[in-house]
Chains A and B, each alone.
Chain A
Amino acid sequence: MHAQQQFDVIVVGAGPAGSSAALVLARAGLRVALIERGEYPGAKNVSGAVFYAPGLLAELLPTFWDEAPFERYITRRVLTFLGKESAFSLDFRTRHFAIPPYNGVTVLRPKFDRWLASKAAEAGALLITSTVVDDLLYEGERVIGVQCRRDDGALYAPVVIAADGANSFLAKKAGLQREFSAEEMSLGVKEVLRLGARTIEERFNLTGDEGMASEYVGEATGSVKGGAFLYTNRDTLSLGIIVQIASLAQQRVRPYELLDRFKQHPAVAPLVRDGVTLEYSAHMIPEGGWQLVPRLVRAGLLVAGDAAALVFAAGIFLEGMNFAVASGLAAAETVLEAHRHGDFSTTTLTGYQKRLEQSFVLQDLQRFRLTPAFVNNERLQNLYPELLCQAAEQVFRSEGRPRKKLGSTILTALRSKVSLWTLLRDGWQAGRALFF
């Protein structure tokens, strides 16, 4: 074995989870290999992309706010229920999100991930690009390295962090993750449209570096289960749809046709008008939530980020990058502890699981574990947004006739399509999923 092929830790995947972990480990003086299959970090990565709680990284990188290539900080959050011809929005904005550490920032992943990986490399991690990891190497039950798809492709380390993304072949090969079902995985397809900074600021009522994160349910994805998003970057928009794979297959609709339908919805078309498409991209998202989170460790191996399905897709929340960063940091701390004791057994590495249980990562996923099923409820997806719009239309309609009181107007609209009993039951489930 070449000394050159021996490291203290191998991190597979230079996304937010992998690069954050590599940064911390390299700073602590470990010999870190950070392996990326793209020509550059971010080449294969797609998010919406809002990076919530960027303060997580700012604590590590004091120059974060000056240097990190983020697009806009989010001061405006919008949730829209789309009917066929109408839209009902909840629109929230606050200046409290406009002060560092910002609540959320939009990023373009090829730029952001590249920057973050360069920080890990500056700290001393060896960034190995253009190299795909095919498998793990074992000694008995213990993981002792990785096999890369190159001649003489073995690399050795007493511990490996698999941050290899949503498909997570390594977690599956290690027997930690099972095969995915089409019900628990979603597909996101996205376009980036150039509009110009000025147009974006005027069109979305933003000032300076302020940005908007807007999400849509209902008619956004037709009868397919899912939702849509529209985020503002510096001079482009990121917009896309996220749909459950099983539902897409069942309804026999192509994702890019859904995207076009969304762009042409009367409530969306004026927002994207004259936008020039710069890129089209797609990615799979492990949206299954708590049910999908695999076993996180075995001897010599930890799984982080999307690879561990640490994605928080719970209705009004759509977060992944912060979960990736937090899990990467927790994995790094655990690896440091393991190195201090020279012990890479499952018992020691379980400290990673404990760290995540104490942080928002597993607490949020567990607390909102009912939400994915609730969000995919047929009525919530396809009926209620339309009914809500109809109710609003009845309330606002002026026809020169005597009005009823609002309660009765709304109830009439709602009960035209759904029984009071079902309505109460769904209300109760919404409460359990999101509120109590």
Chain B
Amino acid sequence: MQQIASEPVVTQPIEERLELVRFKVDKRPHIRVNTEACRGCDLTPCVYVCPAGLFEILGGEMHFSYEHCLECGTCYVACERKAIEWDYPRGGWGVSFRAS
């Protein structure tokens, strides 16, 4: 059967979406990554699965931020090397959903 070409998918940058979400950012990070363990990780699942796009490999090094974390926990479940230490932020801090 002949396939009709699809319209290319336009994706909205994640930062724009996160602007709609309310965060109360604690000074203490609630995510810790053992970046040593990330060296040589080819799969880098965290980079793809994080719904806030918080993980990134830059120049072969793992970089991450915790400020816009949606607190789902997907990253530590996906990490096969168990390099991600993940906890909830302090009570009253972190993300607050309002319209979901």
Contact = CB atoms under 8 A, between A and B. Distances in A.
Is there any pair of Cβ atoms, one from A and one from B, under 8 angstroms apart in the complex? Answer: yes
Interface residues of B, number: 42
A395 interface: no
B29 interface: no
Interface string B48-84: 1101110000000000000000111110011000000
B17 A280 contact: yes
Interface in A164-185: 166-167, 169, 180-182, 185
Contacts of A31: none
B5 to A, nearest CB: 9
A264 B77 CA distance: 29
A280 B20 contact: yes
Given A132-B91, A282-B72, A110 B98 contact: yes
B97 A284 contact: no
Contacts of B94: 44
For chain A, the bracket of interface size reads 35 or more
A319 B74 CA distance: 20
A424 interface: no
Contacts, number: 146
Contacts of B74: 185, 187, 245, 282, 284
Contacts of B97: 42-46, 109-110, 279, 281
B90 A84 contact: no
B45 A109 contact: no
B45 A39 contact: no
Interface string A218-238: 000000000000000000101
A149 B90 contact: yes
A405 to B, nearest CB: 20
A218 B30 CA distance: 36
A256 interface: yes
Contact of A245 (B7, B11, B49): B49
A144 to B, nearest CB: 21
Contacts of B88: 37, 132, 167, 169
Contact of A255 (B3, B51, B73, B91): B51
Contacts of A131: 91-92
B18 A248 contact: no
Interface in A276-299: 277-284
Contacts of A44: 71, 94-97
A254 B71 CA distance: 17
A85 interface: yes
Nearest to B94: A44
Nearest to B48: A252
Interface string B20-63: 11001000000000000000000101001101110000000000
A130 B72 contact: no
Contacts of A185: 74, 77
A351 interface: no
Contacts of B92: 37-39, 129-131
Interface of B is mostly: loop
Contact of A260 (B4, B9, B52, B91): B9
A390 B1 contact: yes
A166 B73 contact: yes
A276 to B, nearest CB: 10
Contacts of A393: 1
Given A110-B100, A278-B20, A280-B21, A249 B49 contact: yes
A253 interface: yes
A261 B14 CA distance: 14
A269 B71 CA distance: 29
A76 interface: no
Contact of B3 (A84, A192, A257, A260): A84
B48 to A, nearest CB: 5
A190 interface: yes
A150 interface: yes
B45 to A, nearest CB: 3
Nearest to B51: A282
A148 interface: yes
Contacts of A166: 72-73
Nearest to B9: A261
Which 6 A/B pairs are nearest by Cβ-Cβ distance? A130-B92, A249-B45, A282-B51, A131-B91, A280-B17, A279-B99
7 contacts: A85-B4, A110-B99, A130-B91, A149-B91, A167-B73, A185-B77, A279-B20
Interface of A: 37-40, 42-46, 49, 84-85, 108-110, 129-132, 148-150, 166-167, 169, 180-182, 185, 187, 189-192, 236, 238, 245-246, 248-249, 252-257, 260-261, 264, 277-284, 390, 393
Given A44-B97, A185-B74, 6 more contacts: A43-B95, A46-B97, A85-B3, A131-B91, A245-B78, A256-B14
